[in-house]
Structures are given as structure tokens and as C-alpha cells.
Amino acid sequence: MQKRQIAAAALLFVAGQGASAQVVINEAMHDPPGAETAWEYFELYGRPNMDLTGYAIACFKGGSDTNGDGVPESPAEIDEAFTLDGLTLGADGFLVLVNDPFGDVPLYTHPTATIADFASQHIPTVDTAGNLANGDSTTYLLVRARPNHSIMGGVSVYAPGYSFRKDVDPDVNWDGKLDFGIESGSPLAVDPLQIVDDIAWSDNGGKEYVRSSDQEISDTPGFDPDALSRVNYFGTNPNAGNRVNSSMEVVSTRSADEEFIYGEILRIPPTRPLPEYGFDPLDMVLPKGPTNLTGPLYTCPPSPASEGDCTVSGSGTFRFDDITLVTNVAMSSETGFNMTPGTFNDDPRFGITQFRFVLADFNFDGEADADDLSLINASVGATLDDRTDCLDEFGMPIIDPGTGMPFQCYAYEGRAFNCIEAMRWMDPTDGPGGTNDAAVTVFDVMAAEAVIPTGRLCADQNMDGFVSPADFSAWVANFNTNNPVADVNQDGSVTPADFSAWVAAFNQGANGPTCNP
């Protein structure tokens, strides 16, 4: 049991940091009013002091097609791209990447956050870092791995053909898919990227480059928001509200709709020392946010043209109203929800508490429980570098004409990436020489079990909450991987004697002994 004690000590180290190893795009001041250079910034949030070497972030523009004829009036491009080499998240888990290091944003950034600037992190090109482009569809991608890119000695090496950089067209055939370098029209190899987090919105009929449309904000008709701020992070779409899509169907809101507050920023600069980067409550388009779960229910006619065709009804089944972000739209003194670079955006006026990552919460439902133990048990051996065949929209492999073999994409992206990364860091000393192992290990499982006492039935080896014959195969699999869940007799080691203990526990069914793990 010596390793269990080591894992527990490591767990205290991680828990003291307040979060597992995840990182997300948390805020973007995309199109601020007035002097854009002084106000533009990105904010990342994740594990405190997390090393971001090898990561990069970029703003992709999806071009425009305002008349809908399928011919873009402006092409797609990577507007700005920044390496995060040499940077770490701050003591509270925040990094703020600012356009102007001598402008307004650093004056309002929380002192525990890391601050870097566009120019110093600009990925080398023939051009220099500039302001973020406004208008047309926009996608922000936070990535870990890119074609023709590697890390040597803690520094990025850009091999010939590297293309994740400013002014590159990532979609030369304008099909809404990042290019593999095999499309017609002199494409560059932008994919396969490993996307850690992504967010997008449509404007002027352009394209978005998220992995799933669930990461696109739905409600932006002719609207390029000044800014957006994350308040939630879900493992799967919570289906909290409803929207009317372009086919005049009432469907669920997307995850992005329930995760971000977005809108226009006040037309006046903040007044020091208050960090009043506030969304404008008097703008023609009010700030939007997640669904109000206590709001009224609506009924809708067949094929509604918009939410305005639906009416409040006691027998309604749909929710369209957002959470309250403005207390009185007639009062110009109200500022609405505020941006707070480098710290959490809690706002008691509107009952908003920004999400925090929870230790051992691998499915991002806000609590660490038996479901998370099932996930980590099923993920032993997984690494961030695992690959799988790249598939097209029809589920067919995308073939590399140079080799005749399918391109290899990363198996874990987005929520799955952050899930595996959180698992890997449960025990940060489980690798060679006390380092963090590249894979999820049984010691990570043990550290998770120390956080999530289950009191489960010992015979329940697949941890589905029931004792059934399927648990025999699960015990064999756990035994073969030396998973501590197979230690049914709870003597501190996994041995053949545990099989006899499992049979006895199985025969007792729901009245059998409980184990932790």
C-alpha cells in the first residue's frame, strides 16, 4: 500500500491547486468599442501554474456570403495566431493575452493572472501581429498539436509546410472544413489539429471551424458580438432551452448557448479602479446568456418563423428566455454583466457564479461521483497522443494520397481532451522518476478513488450500480490491468485470491460486502 500513500500525498498537492489539468477559452474581448488595440484580449482558465508550452490559440475568419449563392465575397483566413510557448497559467489558473501590454487591459487584470501580449507570442510570419478582424463568421481555436510542428527543448520548431499562422487560408475550397492539404486550389495542411477548446459564431453567411456545431453560438443574426465570457462548461449538451432553427423547427439550444454570455460592450471606457468592462444593457441587441430555467414555458405553432411566434402558456413545453442580465433597461447607469480579466466573473446581482473545474469531475457535470470513477477506470492506458482514422462527414476515412493510408486524427479533443488530461494529473508522480505518466494509470484511478468514496458493492466490478454476470468479465479485465477495483478482499493487492472473494461477494448479491475502492 506504499503507492497508495504516495498517491494520496500527490492528491493533496493537486487539490491544493484548486483544479485538475484542464484549460479552456474563458473570455474574448473581440470587437471592443473605441481604441481596439488598448482593449482586445483573450483569457484562458485552467489548472493553476499549468505549462502551456506547445499550445497555441488563433482567431479564424470564415469569410462571407451575404447573398447565399455559395460563392464567398471574402475568403476564409487565419486572422491572428499566437503560440503559448513559455507561458503558464497564473496562481489562480488564468492567463490574459493582451493586444497592447501598455494599454488598458493590464490595468484591470487580476494580479495573480499571467499576462502576455500579442506581439511577443505572435507565431512567426512575414506579417506582424495586429488587431482582431471584425465582421464575418469567427472561430476561436485553442490547440495543442499542429501539422509540421514539434517541441524541442521547450521551444516550437516549425517545419516546412507549417500553416497554423496569420494570413493563411485554412479552407481554400470553402466547404467549412479545415484543409488537409489535399483539396484543390493549392491548400495547406491545417488539419489534423488537436483542438483543446473551440467557440464560433456566424455572421454574413461565413463558415465556422469548430469540431461540432454544438460549439457554435446559435443566436447571432447579422451580429458580431463585441465580447463573450464563459459562465458554464458542460461535458454534453444540457438541453436546457430551445431555439427556432433555419428549418422553422423548435430544437434544443446548443452547448455554446448555455455556456457563454455575449453581446455589445458599453461605449464608454471603464472608470478606474472599477473593472467595468460591462455588457451594454441599452444596446439594440441585449446581452445574451444561458437559458433561465425558472422562466416561463411557451407553446409554438407548427413551423414557427421565430421565437416571437410562440406564446407563454401554462401547458407550454419550451423555454426561450435567457437568465436576467439587466435589471432595468431604462436606466443608463446599469452596466449589465461585467468582464473581469484574470479572475472569475461572479455577479451576485444576477445570481451568476462562474464555473470552476472540480477535482475528479471527468464528465464535467459539476460533481465527482461514481460516474467519474467509471470513466477513469475505462480510460486506463489512454494518452493525449492516441490517434484514430480521420473521417469525413459520411464516416469514411480521409485518405492521404501520398501514402494511400487514412490520415490519423487525435482521438481526444475538446471535452474528451480535458477529461483525459484531468485524469492524467490525478497522480502527478506516477511516471518514470516520479514524473507524471503520459498515460492514465491505475495510480490515477487510486487517487480519484481517494476523492470519491463510493461504498460500492465489491462484486460490482463494472461499477454500473448492479451486481450481474457482466461483472465477471469486468473483474478479469480489472485483474489483468492490476486495477485496484479488482482487490475484492481489500488486502491492498490484486491477486488470484480476489477471484474467490469476488465469487463469494457475487453470490451475496445486493447484500454483499462493500469496497472502497
- Among residues 233, 250, 365, the alpha carbon closest in space to that of 302 is found at 250
266 and 279 co-located in one domain: yes
411 and 342 co-located in one domain: no
426 and 481 co-located in one domain: no
What domain range is 255 assigned to? 23-291+320-350
H helix count then E strand count, the chain: 10, 25
Kindly provide the b/e burial profile for residues 394-431, where b requires at least 16 CB atoms within 10 angstroms of the residue's own CB: eeeebbbeeeeebbebbbbbbbbbbbbbbbbbbbbbbe
The interaxial angle of helices 497-508 and 470-480, nearest 10 deg, is 160
Domain annotation covers residue 302: no
Q: Which residues contact 70 (CB under 8 A, 6 or more apart)?
A: none
* Full DSSP string of 141-174: EEEEE-TTEEEETTEEEE-TT---STT--S-TT-
Per-residue pLDDT, 329: 52
465 and 399 co-located in one domain: no
- Among residues 428, 445, 376, 446, the alpha carbon closest in space to that of 13 is found at 428
Domain annotation covers residue 181: yes
- Structural domain ending residue among the three candidates 424, 452, 480: 452
Domain annotation covers residue 300: no
Separation of alpha carbons 494 and 466, rounded Å: 22
Domain annotation covers residue 307: no
Question: pLDDT 10s digit of each residue in the chain, 517 long?
Answer: 223 232 333 333 333 333 357 999 999 998 887 777 888 999 999 999 999 999 999 999 999 998 889 899 999 999 999 999 999 999 999 999 999 999 888 988 999 999 999 999 999 998 999 999 988 999 999 999 999 999 999 899 999 999 999 999 999 999 999 999 999 888 999 999 999 999 999 888 899 999 999 999 987 655 678 889 999 999 999 999 999 998 999 999 999 999 999 887 765 455 544 445 666 655 656 678 899 999 999 999 999 998 989 999 999 999 999 988 776 655 544 556 778 899 998 888 778 889 999 999 999 999 898 889 889 999 999 999 999 999 998 999 999 999 999 999 999 999 999 999 999 999 999 999 999 999 999 999 989 988 887 677 899 998 877 899 999 999 999 999 888 889 998 888 899 999 999 999 999 988 888 887 6
The helix/strand/coil state of 394 is: coil
Per-residue pLDDT, 84: 97
Domain annotation covers residue 298: no
Look-up of cell digits 445570481: 351
Q: Which residues contact 69 (CB under 8 A, 6 or more apart)?
A: none
How many residues does the structure list for the chain? 517
191 and 236 co-located in one domain: yes
Separation of alpha carbons 121 and 310, rounded Å: 48
186 and 149 co-located in one domain: yes
446 and 474 co-located in one domain: no
Separation of alpha carbons 44 and 113, rounded Å: 10
* Cα-based distances in Å from 385 to 115, 243, 374, 396, 478: 29, 37, 22, 22, 24
175 and 149 co-located in one domain: yes
Look-up of cell digits 448492479: 466
* Full DSSP string of 265-278: BPSS---TTS--EE
β-strand 399-400 against 114-117: which pairing, if any?
A: unpaired
- Among residues 114, 120, 121, 119, the alpha carbon closest in space to that of 341 is found at 114
Alpha helix positions (H), 379-467 = 415-424, 442-451
135 and 174 co-located in one domain: yes
Letter for the amino acid at 203? Answer: D
Domain annotation covers residue 303: no
Domain annotation covers residue 299: no
The helix/strand/coil state of 482 is: coil
3-state class percentages of the chain: helix first, strand second, coil last, to nearest 5 = 20, 20, 60
The helix/strand/coil state of 194 is: strand
Q: Is 477 buried (19+), middle (13-18) or exposed (0-12) by CB count in 10 A?
A: middle
43 and 188 co-located in one domain: yes
Per-residue pLDDT, 14: 36
What's the structural domain count of the chain? 3
Letter for the amino acid at 475? Answer: W
Per-residue pLDDT, 273: 46
Per-residue pLDDT, 391: 94
Which contiguous run of DSSP H or E holds residue 387? strand 387-389
27 and 11 co-located in one domain: no
The helix/strand/coil state of 51 is: strand
274 and 125 co-located in one domain: yes
Letter for the amino acid at 127? Answer: D
- Predicted structure pTM score: 0.85
Domain annotation covers residue 480: yes
